[in-house]
Amino acid sequence: MRKDCITKCKVGLTCLAAFALVGAFGPADATAQPAPLGGLDDYITAAMEAWEVPGLAIAVVHDGRTVYERGYGVRDVTTGEPVDEHTLFAVGSTSKAFTSATLGMLVDEGRLGWDDRVIDHIPWFEMYDAYATRELTVRDLLTHRSGLARGDAVWYSWPHDRNEIIRRVRYLEPTRSFRGAWQYQNLMFLTAGEVVHAVSGQSWDDFVAERIFAPLGMDRSVTSASALPHMDNVASPHVPVDGTPTPVAHKNIDNVGPAGSIYSSVSQMARWVALHLESGVHGGARLVSDSVMAEMHYPQMAIQADAPENRLHSRDAVMNFNAYGLAWWVLDYRGRKVVDHGGGIDGMRAHVAFMPEKGVGMVALSNARPNNLIVALMYRVFDHYLDGSVGRESADWSTLMLAEMKEGEARAAEARRELEAGRAMGTSPSRPLAEYAGAYEEEYHGVVDILHEDGGLRLSLGGKTTGRLDHWHHDVFRVVPDNPADLEMFVTFTVAADGAVGTLQLGGLGDFARR
């Protein structure tokens, strides 16, 4: 999502030490800056400290060439190794545009149509609603208008493979009418990747590597975190733990790969940005037709005016329209069309954007979440290229967006205080802990295993998400995850009249019945 979730973060001694490293290393490349971007180094360095971002890299493309590419800070606060323009980061949901482009290549070859029905390529695909099953098209997959809410726990928390996740879509009830509203939906992009496989005979991963990475020279870009142990110069994701940016393991999300699993560097992603600015041409060779590129960048689905995605633009610039293309946001900034997309996965944030009329684009990657500094840098870059023709002093987008994040943190802290105030102290579970142990199942998400170990309870979601259960009150337990990047949840058990433990509720994911 464009607006990242807000979590509490305070500056600690370790955090300050990390930013001392940021200042010590500074930009990885000390060559003179192009005149239009003068001052950007100092701006980024100061902003990283304010946002508590250990490492960041940025590249700017103008008139078909990379005019600025640079790394700042450190890959990992524990090693102090510097970030440069070749450092690999997770690009998150900016991967979606690669999926859209692969489908566009198949459209160019006449093997696929944007308005083909999904079931004509994946006959076993099924939605909760029979009409949606019959009518869902490739275009629908790429525009977040399926009527489904996110349902992300099925891939994020459980280890189901791609086909199993797509099979389970039939159990996800819609929350809006089909094509009736824009709702961000990763599972449809996973399904789009399976369409690529069905039509081409190649896996989505192989197709992206052969048809996009190879011709663009993106030889260090990969579609899976499983490749990272064999590679050098890789940034570690960081999340706040007790107010301090702390490295965590890379999240393997191969099971939803077409929606967000790519790793790359700003140097290589700049070539991807240039391909879009050049309407599908790279090095004199056409990779994608100009008609397909135009279709990807054309507004396909309006986003409602009160959507959270609009708020980031409301402080200092009037947004006249906000829409979604084929895996790209399409909006306006200071009277110019902008095509962009953000991404975030466990301690990594990415943003890719371009302004076609000015021939300028950028990519920023960072190893801390939450942060919208990378979005602020998009506006900073665009302001540099607009000020000469529009005549307007640049806003300090970093300060504005940081203030917005702090407001969100304050709201989250207040919600936490209200939760604590509602806790019934001095209560005990109604049954001995061993009686809560067992397997509980829900048809969409899968199985929750509650284990009785060492006198306490633990949770396991197929081994991918694990944590201990701390008693909260009555028959409610708080899940304290083993991975600090995972969110805390609450488990509520129900006990029948005969005293038997029957079901559990896990967060807002629904009722899981005991096997």
Angle at 223 between CA 221 and CA 226, to 5 degrees: 100
Q: Map tokens 């189901």 to a residue.
A: 160
> 98-102, 145-149, 309-313, 324-328 — which is least confidently predicted?
309-313
User: Which pLDDT tens digit goes with each residue over 245-296?
Assistant: 999 999 999 999 999 999 999 999 999 999 999 999 999 999 999 999 999 9
**Mean pLDDT score, 441-446:** 97
* Per-residue model confidence (pLDDT) at position 307: 54
The answer to whether the beta carbons of residues 300 and 325 sit under 8 Å apart is yes
Average pLDDT of span 481-489: 93
The DSSP result for 100-116, as a single string, is HHHHHHHHHTTS--TT-
What gap in Å lies between CA 364 and CA 58, rounded to an integer?
Answer: 4
The answer, yes or no, to whether the previous bond of 370 is cis (omega within 30 of 0) is yes
- Please state, in angstroms and rounded to a whole number, the distance separating the CA atoms of residues 89 and 409: 26
**d(C-alpha 377, C-alpha 391), whole Å:** 19
- What does 372-383 look like in DSSP terms, one character per residue? -HHHHHHHHHHH
Angle formed by the axes of helices 373-390 and 397-421, to 10°? Answer: 150
Res 388: pLDDT:
58
User: Is the pLDDT assigned to residue 498 strictly greater than 70?
Assistant: yes
Give which of 296, 256, 22, 39 is closest to 142, Cα–Cα.
296
The more confidently predicted of residues 2 and 85 is 85
What pLDDT was estimated at residue 315?
A: 47
- Interatomic CA distance for residues 63 and 44, integer angstroms: 23
pLDDT at 370: 79
Whether 218 contacts 212, CB under 8 Å: yes
Q: How far apart are CA 264 and CA 208, in angstroms?
A: 13
- Taking all residues of the chain, what is their mean pLDDT, rounded to a whole number? 90
Positive or negative torsion for Cα 263, 266, 270, 273: positive
- Give every CB contact of residue 340 below 8 A, 6+ residues apart in sequence: 328, 329, 331, 351, 352, 353, 354, 378
Residue 358 is classified by DSSP as: G
Q: Give yes or no for residue 395 having a pLDDT over 90.
A: no
Tell me the pLDDT band of 2, cut-offs 50, 70 and 90. Answer: very low
Query: In this predicted model, what pLDDT tens digit does every residue of 362-379 receive, in sequence order?
Result: 999 999 987 899 999 999
Nearest to 76 by CA among 25, 26, 18: 18
Quote the pLDDT of residue 39: 86
Mean pLDDT over residues 87-114, rounded? 98
User: Helix axis angle, 40-51 relative to 397-421, nearest 10°?
Assistant: 10
pLDDT at residue number 64: 92
Task: State how far the Cα of 480 lies from the Cα of 465, in Å rounded to an integer.
Answer: 11
Pair 309, 329: CB distance under 8 Å: yes
Across the range 392-411, mean pLDDT stands at: 86
For residues 196-207, b (16+ Cβ closer than 10 Å) or e, as one string? bbebbeebbbeb
Pairing mode, if any, of strands 285-286 and 281-282? antiparallel
Measured at the alpha carbon of residue 155, what is the angle toward residues 152 and 158, in degrees to the nearest 5? 120
Task: Say if residues 297 and 325 touch (Cβ distance below 8 Å).
Answer: yes
pLDDT digits (tens, 9 = 90+) for 285-336: 999 999 999 999 999 999 975 555 455 444 456 678 899 999 999 999 988 9
Residues 6 or more apart in contact with residue 510 via CB below 8 angstroms:
442, 444, 445
pLDDT band at 21 (very low <50, low <70, confident <90, very high): very low
What is the distance, to the nearest Å, from the Cα of residue 399 to the centroid of all Cα atoms in its chain? 23
pTM: 0.90
pLDDT of 154: 98
Amino acid at 15: C
Distance separating alpha carbons of residues 103 and 116, to the nearest angstrom: 11
- Secondary structure tally for the chain: helices H, strands E: 15, 22
Mean of pLDDT values over 130-143? 98
Kindly tell me if the per-residue pLDDT of 34 is higher than 90: no
pLDDT value at 382 more than 70: yes
* CA nearest to 216, candidates 289, 262, 282, 292: 282
* CA 49 from centroid of its chain's CA atoms: 23
**All domains of the chain, ordered by start, with CATH?**
13-103+198-412 (3.40.710.10), 433-514 (2.40.128.600)
CA gap 460, 441 in Å, rounded: 12
The number of beta carbons lying within 10 Å of the beta carbon of residue 164 is: 14
Run of H or E including 475? none
pLDDT tens readout for residues 336-355:
999 999 999 999 999 999 99
> Among candidates 257, 219, 207, which has minimal Cα distance to 90?
257
Spatial neighbors of 91 by CB under 8 A, at least 6 apart, are 260, 262, 263, 264, 269, 343, 350, 352, 365
